A and B are shown apart, each in its own frame.
Chain A
Amino acid sequence: MAELHIIGQIVGASGFPENSLFCKWGVHTGGAWRLLSGLKEGQTQVDIPQTGDIAYWSHPIDLHYATKGLQGWPKLHLQVWHQDSFGRCQLYGYGFCHVPSSPGHHRISCATWRPLGSWQEQLAQMFVGGGPQLRSPDLIYSGADRYRLHTEAMGTVELELGLIMRHFDKYGVES
């Protein structure tokens, strides 16, 4: 009956071709985990930075989990979206990272990628926006077949997570 608090924020993103970005995020856990309180998925606001490349969101994450096993340690999956000047949203990147397994403060930068698509799609993307997306976004954190995808590297998302673990030592998990 160990408990895990994940408290932190999605700080922002950098390195994307455009900087008017927002982020959809979610935490995926295995069956042994139970969410006691908090929201395990959400979406940030759109940040349109006036200067600089980094879009800041400072979106809070506050989760409290109880678990009966280590399997399925929480993973954080992200989707960075871009809102263009017409107000259209298009996918800019998928990212995924494990929630750190040691307590304390962590600064995580999560690299993102996006499916490339065929050249026709790329051409279309250049002119009319949009772009290929995963049909099942579960693939972000569970895909064994991902090597088949042609992808393009996008920017990184910065996260700051603080972890508090409780009673893990009772079950022989040293941290």
Chain B
Amino acid sequence: MASPSDIREKLRKKRRALQETLVKNKNEDDVQALVPSTKLSGEKRQTTMKEPEGSEEDPGETLKRTIRAQRQRRKKRLLEQTLVQESRDDDVEEISTIQHDGAEEESAEKAHESVVSSRSPAGSQKGLFSRTQHTPSSQSQSQSLDDFVKRRLEERLRAARSKSESLQQPEASFEPASRLQSLRDRDTVTRFDREVDPDRSGRQDPPSALSARVKFREAARRVGKGLPTAEEAYNFFTFNFEPDPPDESETTSSKRQKQRKTAKDDRDEDEGDEAEEQEDAEADEDNQEENENQSEEAPLVQNAEEDLFALDQSPQDFLEVRKAEYIGYRNLIQRESDLLFTPSFRTVPTSIKLPENMKPRYLEDEGLYVGERPSVSLTNENILENRILKMEEGKKWFGDDGRIMALPDPIKESSTRPPLFHMEEDLDPALQTVYRKALKSKYANLYIAGAADPEGDYQLDVDVSGLIFSHHPLFSREHVLAARLAQLYDQYLTRQHNNLTGHLTDKLNGLRSALRNMLEIHGGQSLTQAMQQRFSEYSLEIRNTRQLRDSEQEKDRTLLKNIVKMWKEIKALREFQKFTNTPYKLYLRRENVDRASDEREHEDEILAEVLELEAESEEDYHKKLAEYNKQLEEWKLWRRKQKSKKKKRKKKKKGQAQEDTEEEDQEASESEGPVEEGPPKPEPPERPDFDSIEQQVREKASRIRRKPGEAILIPELSASGNITASELCPRAETARREDVARRSLFIKILYNDKEVSRTDSRSLNTDFRVHFGQIFNLKIVNCPQSIHLQVFEEIGSSCSLLARVFVPVPEPSVVTGNVPVEEFEFSSNQRVMFDHEGVGSDVPLSFEADGGNKQTLLTSGKLSCCVSWGIGDDDVPLAPPVSQQPGGIHSGLGRLDAVTYIGASGLYDMKKIGEWATQSRLDPNDPKNASIMQLLKVASSGEVTAPEYFRLEHLQEEFNFVTDEELERSRRFRLLRLRNQEVAEFRNYKCVPALEREVTDKVFQEYERRLKEGEIIDTKEHLDSHRALVAKYLQKIRESVINRFLLAKHHYVLSDLVIEEEIPSIGILGLNLFKLAEPKRPLKPQRKERKKVTAQNLSDGDIKLLVNIIRAFDIPIRRPQSNKPGQSSQSAIQGSDWFLSQVQVRPFVEVSFQRTVLQTTTADGPNPCWNEELQLPFSAPNGDYSTASLQSVKDEVFINIFDEVVHETGVNDKDRGKSIHTHVEKHWLGSVKIPFSTIYSQSRIDGTFKVNTPAVLLGYSKERSHGANGGYDIMRSLSEGTFVTLFITMEPQLVPGESIREKFDSQEDEHLLQASERFEREAAQGYPDRPCLTTVIDLNGKTVFITRFIRPLNPPQEFLDAFPNNPQEATALVARFVSLIPSLPDRVSFSGACDLWSTCDQFLTLLAGDEEEHAVLLCNYFLSMGKRAWLIIGTAIPEGPTAYVLTSEQSRYLIWNPSSGQYYGQYDTFCPLLTVGCLVNADNVWLNIQEYTSPMRLNFDITKANLWKPFFSRSFSHPGLSSVQPEELVYRRTDKAAAAELQDRIEKILKEKIMEWRPRHPTRWNRYCTTTLKQFLPKLEMSGGQDVTEGHRHELQSLLGDNRISGFPLHLPFSEIRPIIEAVYSTGVHSVQASNVEFALAVYVHPYPNNVLSVWVYLASLVRT
């Protein structure tokens, strides 16, 4: 127990126990657990260690033992790890080991640390870090182990090193820096602790420890020889030789218990211990060093002493009481002065600073640049110098000038760093803050409402400019007069300025002239009511104006008189008092006038006035007279009444006796009449006295106007006079002046009765004017209610209120800067009297010598000031809104002031101003109104009509070259734009003229017509209204589909843009090399792949169609015309043939494409072999060679087989024999049609095609040659008809347009779509050449699962009824019906964008569709007829990828071509179907996974899963998809009449066409033949073109006798007229040159249900022989 290692170990156990409790329990417990240990350890360590051990049930104790036991086992491993410590990177090592600990340990440790750090660090940290060494083996000291260990060590060390290194590196990198830091910190603490450790160990048992150490050393030395380094060994052995404390018995006895208890912990601790031990090892390492230094020297003993004796002695023994030590200040100073040096702050003389006998040298004076020294205060510098001088070599710090050496001041005056603007980090403007001042409190009730923005305070500017007294108590008499004079003069000036007189005179003149004009114009004639009204109005106006003018003139005149009078008075006064007080002087300027003109004017004026007055008085008189007359009338009436009454009364009085009672009342009433006195007799008006009028006028004129010829007097008041100096004045005056000088004035400004400001006080001048010139800006919050100014007079220190002036609150529109200063008069009723010259106030005053005519003058004056609203920084008036104004201001005056009437804002509204102007009847001549009138004039002229809209860039218009309309109108631009937009008409328009005029309107005609007639259907072109409708409908669908694909079409593939040669790979090279060795076979040429060319940079003539016609089989042969005389010659030719029995035919092939016709050479026999290549040029519509355009080319290649027939027209008789005329005719035998689109999409067509031969070929028989003819026999027996082998391609090879597999929206289940995608992908990967379809796109552009299209649908009933007993026939009929529906490839109608599937009813409505639609319909019909039918998705010639129908009948399979209605057996050689990709029926889709794709080699048993892969299998069952097809098809019966009509029209058109094609020859029609043919056609229709040949031929032969007939019926499904014409043209019947040829043409249209029409054209040419 005594050994330090043991204690350490115990400590460690303890710690672990604590840790565990830490982990498991709460912090409180931890603290409790910790506290004792820390406390105790501080006190006495030994006891601390022991205490836990003493307590029996301490978990730490039990734990400890378990672990110790385990450690024994792990000893070896641990040894290695301790060696690992050798590596330098201690920190990292620590981390790596701690990493091993696992989360629990780590967290525990952390928790522990945290707790510990709050405690006293020394004790607790020790607990953590003094956990000690591994328990070594019990025989630690035994030397026997050494060798063994040494060897092991050598081995393991190496391994461990490498391992630890590899461990260290990755783990160190994981660790964040912070963690590292903390660990490092801890490490230092550890060191601190360790210092304690050895102490303790020393204390415990110093001698033993020492001895142990010595031993360790020895051991180390011994070991050192064999080990890599001595240090390693040393370290190792020091750990290893720690004495082993545990008593084994105890350990084993409690082992079980412990194990049970800590089974779980063990695992953790296994790792944990390792880590700890490593740490411990490290700690010990340190210890070793420390021990070397410390424990082996003195300190150990010292410590031991102290500690040892401390227990035995009492405190008293160590203590003694002493008094505080004090050293006196003086002593202190003295002592310090010995030690310290205080440099003086006196200036050091230069001589000391410099070396002896050296004069200071000033570089500056010598002209050298010396930088400015940094400023140091002189005192500091002195101190420094003094100190330096005391130092050794102090002088070297001084420069030549005796100052301390210093670098120039390094501080630059200006900052070199540019100001750094702190940019907001791209802060969203919305997020940025705006600094606002502190908010003021809300306003009280009185405050201006709506002043939400406290910053928008209102501001009143009060400008107090000055004050003029019109009377002041200190006025002298002269002053009074002068003031009056000045006042008068002012008045005069203002009047003069306003020039009211002149203005009124003008107005009067104007009115007069207007009146005169009116009179002149309407002179004498009766005036209308309105005119009279105006007339009178005018005269009234004239009168008023005249009166006004007169009064004004009078005023002017009196004013002038007064001024002169006043001046005279002043002069008199000045005379009298002998001095002048005022500087006023009045001059009267005389302006001479032309006397004559003046007089004339005067006279005119008077005359006019007189005239007017006369007229007025005349009128007046007339009025009065009229009135008088009226009154007179009334009076007379009254009189008469009166009289009659009187008479009556007399009468009545007579008869009063009789009717007394009755009359009485009456009398009473009547008697009242005279009593109530009648109107007085009116006085007749006096006639106006015209003479007197003139008199009056003259009188008045002389009174108010200057006399004619008199000079105009203009007074001029100047203040240039001298004022007599005070010395010269009498005493009283001097006193007055002194008094004046004493006075001063100031003005208070009160706002809402509160003083807000006051001016400076200014002294009163001798002229009694005060100038303030101050402006006060009042920031107001309250509503302005009153503003008044108080004028105060100051005499000495006392001041008195002189007067108060009320200033009105300005209108909101009154804004500083635009308001003139106004003058407000004020007065005061103070009574002031003086004993000097001052006149005083409110004192009677007389200027008369006699003292009469007294005047009482009150102090009064004028204050010039103005109040206005301030203007803010942004020119916004700081005025409250108008509504806030206290009412009462808007009174009657408002009308006249435009601003108040409209409001300031209305000033910009022309309309309002106009309204106001008319309402207020502005005088247009009034100069005040001049600006308004100007404005109104401009406004009313319509030039500046206020626009209703707001324009952003109003100046843009001005800079525009042309208007929009003009730009739109430009035809050239329109053409260019349309071309750019790829409008169909202009898509490939090559040249747009450079000049506008060269673009004619004609260009657009077609386009515009199309736009206009978009809806109108042209029936003429279509022959059939239904089809026209359908065509329209199709067009619409097409447009919508194209729009849908527009975006997808712009998707380019790399190959569209880049043509890249394929880089030959090794494999290809090898093959090529191999080919070189191959035997050349020039007789078996093979086709090579060619380069593909994108269609974009092609032009006309670049593309050629190559048609290689190889051979044909079974061409019909000529029938020997037995009854013909010409037979002999023919047979002669035949006879020359190698095969005599063969009936001759000389076929050749003619290929026509885009009206280019080429033909092969003529071959012989029914099985000819041409092997010729024909090149046909191809030109795209509009020269547009884009993919889309090429795909929509509808042209077809016609391959016609003709028989060349040579006729000898007989020997020319006249010349007797030598010349023989031959006649070459060609007879059409059959044709193959291949659409260009097929060639384009397939890029090549190679195969044997069945030739479309007419049902009847007159003159030919299809009978097979009876002779055996090589190996063809077998094949021929299998099929009927003629075949031709062709190879067609294009040069250069064009890249066919990719059909876009866009993702379409779908209503299908997502699972299904995914499954189908997978299915198709797998098919494409596994069998790239087998077309596989599971989803298709319907007409609405939606993806639909293919099986939904298959559903039994009823064929037209009449077909079923036609052959009730023969289902075979019915089937054929149905197939024929389906084939009669015209075929229109999707890629033609939808420009190759996609393959759209329509349902059967849509198909029957559109009457146009692809092979798929045909196949679906046929399949559905077959299903409804009870057959087993499938849709075959495969490839065929010439269609390419297509759909066929497969039926199963009596153990054999039939393949139906839905577009031709023909069927083939499975093993038919000439079946056009080449590959079978998959089969579809209503329930499932089967993919062909057989080896072959050719139907001949296929097994169609779909039940075999190894042959056909089903889409819906057991794993993915059919989800019960409903069909998209209708339940039942409804058929309309076709109108027979319409069919007949169509028939006639076709016939007519064809006849015209044939005649057109024969422009040089007459075309004769054989009617007889035509009728015969016509009868024959229905029969053909009935039989479906079969089995009528023989009978018909005979019939014809018999009918037409000696005519050589060649002809055939053509059979076509009807879609348009154009294909029919093409077909007829391609037969070349019209090209018969014989002069005596006749033609027969018969057309038959057979209607089938639902407007399906079968067209038969029977063409024949008859040559009379």
Contact = CB atoms under 8 A, between A and B. Distances in A.
B289 interface: no
Interface stretch (B86-94, B960-968, B1179-1187, B1401-1409): B960-968
Contacts of A170: 961
B973 interface: yes
B959 A69 contact: yes
A67 B961 contact: yes
A67 B956 CA distance: 13
B956 A71 contact: yes
A123 interface: no
Nearest to B974: A36
A68 B962 CA distance: 5
A55 B425 CA distance: 34
A64 B980 CA distance: 10
Contacts of A149: 426
A106 interface: no
A1 B961 contact: yes
Interface in A1-48: 1-2, 32, 34-38
B423 interface: yes
Contact of A66 (B423, B424, B425, B967): B967
B970 interface: yes
A148 B429 CA distance: 11
B979 A37 contact: yes
Nearest to B981: A37
Nearest to A70: B959
Interface in B417-452: 423-426
A38 B980 contact: yes
B976 interface: yes
A118 interface: yes
B912 to A, nearest CB: 35
Nearest to B423: A148
B977 interface: yes
Nearest to B964: A68
B961 A36 contact: no
Interface in B287-313: none
Nearest to B977: A36
A171 interface: yes
Interface string A160-175: 0000000000110000
A1 B966 contact: yes
A68 B973 contact: no
Interface in B58-112: none
B960 A68 contact: yes
A150 to B, nearest CB: 8
Contact of B961 (A64, A68, A118): A68
A38 B979 CA distance: 10
Contacts of B977: 34, 36-37
A62 to B, nearest CB: 11
B423 A34 contact: no
A129 B1284 CA distance: 65
Given A68-B967, A148-B423, A32 B960 contact: yes
A156 B976 CA distance: 34
B973 A69 contact: no
B976 A64 contact: yes
B758 to A, nearest CB: 51
A71 B959 CA distance: 8
A69 B960 contact: yes
Contacts of B961: 1-2, 67-69, 170-171
A171 B961 CA distance: 6
Nearest to A71: B956
B1216 to A, nearest CB: 76
A67 B963 CA distance: 10
Contacts of A171: 961-962
A134 to B, nearest CB: 11
Given A67-B961, A69-B959, A1 B967 contact: yes
Contact of B425 (A2, A36, A118): A118
Contact of A34 (B424, B953, B967): B967
A170 to B, nearest CB: 8
Contact of B973 (A32, A36, A38, A118): A36
Contacts of B956: 32, 69, 71
B958 to A, nearest CB: 9
Contacts of B976: 36-37, 64
Given A36-B976, A37-B979, A118-B425, A66 B970 contact: yes
Nearest to A2: B961
A38 B964 CA distance: 21
A2 to B, nearest CB: 6
Of B424, B425, B960, B963, the most chain A CB neighbours within 10 A belong to B960
Nearest to A30: B956
Nearest to A115: B426
Contacts of A150: 423, 426
A24 to B, nearest CB: 16
A133 to B, nearest CB: 13
B805 to A, nearest CB: 54
Contacts of A36: 973, 976-977, 980
A37 B980 contact: yes
Contacts of A2: 961
A37 B956 CA distance: 25
Nearest to B996: A1
B959 A148 contact: no
A149 B970 CA distance: 44
Nearest to A147: B423
Contacts of B959: 69-71
Nearest to A31: B956
A112 to B, nearest CB: 20
Of A2, A34, A36, A148, the most chain B CB neighbours within 10 A belong to A36
A99 to B, nearest CB: 18
Contacts of A67: 961
B962 A1 contact: yes
Of B424, B956, B961, the most chain A CB neighbours within 10 A belong to B961
Contact of A148 (B426, B953, B970): B426
A118 B427 CA distance: 12
Of A71, A118, A170, the most chain B CB neighbours within 10 A belong to A71
A34 B970 CA distance: 12
A74 B959 CA distance: 17
B766 to A, nearest CB: 65
Interface string A59-81: 00000101111110000000000
A170 B959 CA distance: 13
Nearest to A117: B426
A1 B960 CA distance: 10
Nearest to B426: A148
Contacts of B979: 37
A68 B965 CA distance: 10
A68 B963 CA distance: 7
Contacts of B967: 1, 34, 66, 68
Nearest to B979: A37
Contacts of B966: 1, 68
A168 B423 CA distance: 45
Interface in A88-130: 118
B1049 to A, nearest CB: 16
A1 B425 CA distance: 47
B1050 to A, nearest CB: 11
Nearest to A118: B425
A70 B959 CA distance: 7
B1053 to A, nearest CB: 14
Of B959, B962, B967, B970, the most chain A CB neighbours within 10 A belong to B962
Given A66-B973, A69-B956, A71-B959, 15 more contacts: A1-B961, A32-B956, A32-B960, A36-B977, A38-B980, A66-B967, A67-B961, A68-B961, A68-B966, A70-B959, A148-B423, A148-B424, A149-B426, A150-B423, A150-B426
Closest 7 CB pairs of A and B: A37-B980, A171-B961, A36-B976, A69-B960, A68-B962, A68-B967, A66-B973
20 contacts: A2-B961, A32-B956, A35-B980, A36-B973, A36-B977, A36-B980, A37-B976, A37-B977, A64-B976, A66-B970, A68-B961, A68-B964, A68-B967, A69-B959, A69-B961, A71-B956, A71-B959, A148-B424, A149-B426, A171-B962
